[in-house]
Amino acid sequence: MATVDECRAALDQFSAKLGGAEGDAGRAAHLDRSLSCRIPDLDTTFRGQLRGGALHDITTEPSGDKAQIRLEIGSDDLVALVAGKLDFASSWARGRVKLEASIKDLLTLRKLL
């Protein structure tokens, strides 16, 4: 199981990747939405703001979220996903990753993920 610090580092790495995205993915990365990433095996939720192609103001809290974009993923899967060792689409189809957002945001995010 990955640690909270490893998950935070993965989110920082994901944020850096967002900043370098181009084309449709770059446009998707420039959404302005609140975002949460719940890590059930660590009983932790990271919250932040997706803005200007990066994640800002990332905080950690025990649980609960009302973010516009909500992701739920295990700690090891988060680290593997950001490292490119885990495919988002197949992980989502198998229930290893859960993503909740408005229909419009989901259509935009599919270009990013």
> Does residue 88 contact residue 63 with C-beta atoms inside 8 Å?
no
* Mean per-residue pLDDT of the chain: 87
Summarize pLDDT for 39-83 with one digit per residue, the tens.
999 999 999 998 888 889 999 976 666 899 999 999 999 999 999
Tracing tokens 């199981």 back to the chain, one arrives at 1
Beta bridge partners of 98: 72
pLDDT band with cut points at 50, 70 and 90 for residue 29: low
Share of the chain above pLDDT 90, in %: 59
pLDDT at 64: 61
* Whole-number Å distance between alpha carbons of 99 and 62: 19
Q: What sign results for the dihedral spanned by CA atoms 21, 91, 7, 42?
A: positive
Quick check: 15 pLDDT over 70?
Answer: yes
